[in-house]
């Protein structure tokens, strides 16, 4: 008898889903939840109460992997007390070079291993679970996620829609193209239909997801990301459309024009720069120079007044010297990003940069990130203070996470705003006067409702 079916016929089965990593993983977990509920499982919020625990993993940095390993250690102890528990590990980590073998060696309690691009195989993998050996079903071409997979979305105002799978850029530090496979765009009709369905179900903001969304359509040949945005801007009922992540190399003027002309297309671009030195950008294989990046920022700001600009920056890339790092600080001072995700470079198995000899000592990487974070915090605070006195449009999302007595929502430019208000404003567009700018958010009061 297989262990996945070890419960009496007809008994209710419960799953617990644990997610690490980016928004794409968060949305993949919504699909996993949809698939499991289609199989008759019900969600529980504690592993102790579950028959099946699924971990959706990230491996973009070692720290993300270590969180998965720590969780698997805990689950191993739980399984000794609860032998019928089935443990499935999916997402990016198992697809990373050598990781599936390592998982099996270190964590014999794992029953199923699957990849980020073959979530749809989970039911058949679970059906094959038997005591004693893991069922391994990693993603390999030409297998592709089919259209129409169910998703159990978080209720509320905002929803995610995947527009492309994978990445074909092969930045020299990055594991994503290896673990998520090459770029593939979903058919535009399927995306439009999904967004229409979300609008009918009351979602007000849609975020289009892809590792490099502005490469959308390159593999289809007859459509670009700008065309897709134009079509989505016409879907009735959707108040706001966002997208992430944009690659600076593929951000063309036509896309800027479409953003400027769109009604529901938000003026926010998450535009990872990674570094400010041309030598480093070249070795990273990013495909643009600092001058091209700064020029793109100028064009965005000229065409989209008030555009929010956020970024990802990495310090301590192999060979990065003090002058290169200064160039990054200088670029940050020139652009004055609204916010930045900052990372210490981390060598990833299988990526070219991991094998390069000029690795920067950890204490140098740590000092650089401290300097970078201090600079960016100062700029974020100054940018946010400059909002004081303005009246901005906010889509109300719900109670603030830090103060449940107040509401929160974002400006079109992606700034988080916290303000007093009644819960019937949730899902509505309101106008808020900004009273105070903080490092990571704005505070205000509603001056016009609905
Ligand atoms: N597709 C997106 C980002 C994917 S990964 C893009 O191209 O921008 C998210 C961020 O993690 C990257 O932007 C990068 O800053 C960081 N990152 C990726 N690989 C890393 C590594 N090996 N070490 C440290 N940070 C890394
Ligand atoms: Fe990684 Fe570069 Fe692709 Fe982003 S564009 S996912 S950083 S390879």
Q: What is the DSSP string of 44-60?
A: -S-GGG-SEEEEEE--S
3-state class (DSSP) for residue 429: strand
Average pLDDT over every residue of 179-186 = 97
Q: Residue 447's pLDDT is what? A: 96
Cis peptide bond prior to 192, omega within 30° of 0: no
Residue 342 contacts residue 369 (beta carbons within 8 Å): yes
Average pLDDT over every residue of 429-450 = 95
> 97-149, pLDDT tens digit by residue?
999 999 999 999 999 999 999 999 999 999 999 877 899 999 999 999 999 99
Task: Give the Å distance between the CA of 129 and the centre of ligand 1.
Answer: 34
Pocket of ligand 2 contains residue 425 by CB under 6 Å: no
Residue in 276, 288, 270 with CA at minimum distance from that of residue 169 = 288
3-state class (DSSP) for residue 434: strand
Which mutation among 21, 184, 211 tests ligand 2's pocket best, with the greatest number of atoms within 8 A of CB? 211
Which residue's CA is the closest to the ligand 1 atom numbered 4? 211
- What is the C-alpha radius of gyration for the chain, rounded to an integer number of angstroms? 23
Which mutation among 312, 332, 348 tests ligand 1's pocket best, with the greatest number of atoms within 8 A of CB? 312
- Say how far apart CA 174 and CA 168 lie, in whole Å: 11
**Residue 270 alpha carbon, nearest atom of ligand 1:** 8
Q: Which residue shows structure tokens 């690659």? A: 247
- Taking 3-state DSSP, the helix, strand and coil percentages for the chain, each rounded to the nearest 5, stand at 40, 25, 40
**Residue 353 alpha carbon, nearest atom of ligand 1:** 22
Q: Residue 1's pLDDT is what? A: 40
Cα dihedral 251, 27, 85, 136, rounded to 10, equals: -40
Which residue's CA is the closest to the ligand 1 atom numbered 24? 345
Nearest-5° Cα angle at 55, 5 to 342: 170
Which mutation among 22, 174, 180 tests ligand 2's pocket best, with the greatest number of atoms within 8 A of CB? 174
* Confidence check: pLDDT of 278 > 80: yes
pTM over 0.85: yes
- Say how far apart CA 63 and CA 68 lie, in whole Å: 9
**Residue 211 alpha carbon, nearest atom of ligand 1:** 1
Which mutation among 64, 177, 178, 179 tests ligand 2's pocket best, with the greatest number of atoms within 8 A of CB? 177
pLDDT band at 68 (very low <50, low <70, confident <90, very high): very high
Residues with CB under 6 A from ligand 1: 60-61, 167, 173-174, 176, 211-212, 245, 247, 272, 274, 312, 314, 343, 345-346, 348
Pocket of ligand 2 contains residue 176 by CB under 6 Å: yes
Q: Is the dihedral of CA 255, 257, 258, 260 positive or negative?
A: positive
Q: Residue 326's pLDDT is what? A: 98
> 193-248, pLDDT tens digit by residue?
999 999 999 999 999 999 999 999 999 999 999 999 999 999 999 999 999 999 99
Task: Give the Å distance between the CA of 177 and the centre of ligand 2.
Answer: 7
Which residues, at least 6 apart from 197, have a Cβ–Cβ distance to it below 8 Å?
Answer: none
Name the closest ligand to CA 178.
Answer: 2
Q: Residue 6's pLDDT is what? A: 44
* Confidence check: pLDDT of 8 > 60: no
Task: Give the Å distance between the CA of 5 and the centre of ligand 2.
Answer: 40
**Domains of the chain: residue spans and CATH:** 13-137 (3.40.50.12160), 158-385 (3.80.30.20), 391-449 (2.40.50.140)
- Say how far apart CA 431 and CA 284 lie, in whole Å: 42
Q: Residue 374's pLDDT is what? A: 98
* Confidence check: pLDDT of 189 > 80: yes
**Residues recorded for the chain:** 450
Residue 427 contacts residue 204 (beta carbons within 8 Å): yes
Which residues, at least 6 apart from 412, have a Cβ–Cβ distance to it below 8 Å?
Answer: 240, 266, 267, 268, 306, 308, 392, 393
pLDDT band at 394 (very low <50, low <70, confident <90, very high): very high
> 365-382, pLDDT tens digit by residue?
999 999 999 999 999 999
3-state class (DSSP) for residue 208: strand
* Confidence check: pLDDT of 181 > 90: yes
* Confidence check: pLDDT of 350 > 70: yes
């Amino acid at each position: 008898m297989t262990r996945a079916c070890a419960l009496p016929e007809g008994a209710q089965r419960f799953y617990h889903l644990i997610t690490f990593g980016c928004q794409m993983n968060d949305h993949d977990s919504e699909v996993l939840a949809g698939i499991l509920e289609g199989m008759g499982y019900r969600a529980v919020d504690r592993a102790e109460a579950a028959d099946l625990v699924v971990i959706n993993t990230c491996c973009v940095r070692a720290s993300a992997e270590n969180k998965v390993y720590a969780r698997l250690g805990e689950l191993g102890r739980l399984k000794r007390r609860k032998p019928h528990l089935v443990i499935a590990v999916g997402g990016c980590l198992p697809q990373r070079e050598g990781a599936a073998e390592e998982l099996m060696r270190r964590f014999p309690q794992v029953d199923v291993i699957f990849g980020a691009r073959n979530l749809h195989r989970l039911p058949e993998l679970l059906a094959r679970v038997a005591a004693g050996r893991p069922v391994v079903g990693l993603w390999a071409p030409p297998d592709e996620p089919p259209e129409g997979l169910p998703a159990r979305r978080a209720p509320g105002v905002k929803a995610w829609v995947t527009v492309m799978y994978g990445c074909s850029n092969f930045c020299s530090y990055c594991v994503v193209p290896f673990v998520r496979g090459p770029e593939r765009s979903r058919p535009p009709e399927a995306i439009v239909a999904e967004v229409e369905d979300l609008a009918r179900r009351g979602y007000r903001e849609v975020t289009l997801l892809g590792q490099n969304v502005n490469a959308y359509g390159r593999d289809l040949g007859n459509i670009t990301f700008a065309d897709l945005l134009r079509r989505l801007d016409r879907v009735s009922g959707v108040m706001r459309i966002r997208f992430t992540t944009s690659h600076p190399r593929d951000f063309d003027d036509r896309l800027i024009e479409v953003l400027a002309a769109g009604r529901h297309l938000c003026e926010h671009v998450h535009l990872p720069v990674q570094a400010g030195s041309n030598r480093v950008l070249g070795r990273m294989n990013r495909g643009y120079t600092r001058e091209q990046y700064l020029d793109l920022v100028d064009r965005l700001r000229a065409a989209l007044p008030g555009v929010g600009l956020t970024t990802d920056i990495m310090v301590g890339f192999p060979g990065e010297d003090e002058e290169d790092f200064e160039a990054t600080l200088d670029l940050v001072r020139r652009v004055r990003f609204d916010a930045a995700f900052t990372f210490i470079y981390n060598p990833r198995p299988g990526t070219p940069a991991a094998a390069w000899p000029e690795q920067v000592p950890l204490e140098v990487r740590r000092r650089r990130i401290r300097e970078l974070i201090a600079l960016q915090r100062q700029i974020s605070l100054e940018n946010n203070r400059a909002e004081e006195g303005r009246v901005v449009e906010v889509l109300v999302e719900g109670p603030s996470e830090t103060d449940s007595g107040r509401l929160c929502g974002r400006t079109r430019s992606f700034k988080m705003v916290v303000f007093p208000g009644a819960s019937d404003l949730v899902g509505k567009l309101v106008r808020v006067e900004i009273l105070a700018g903080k490092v990571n958010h704005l505070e205000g009061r509603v001056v016009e409702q609905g």
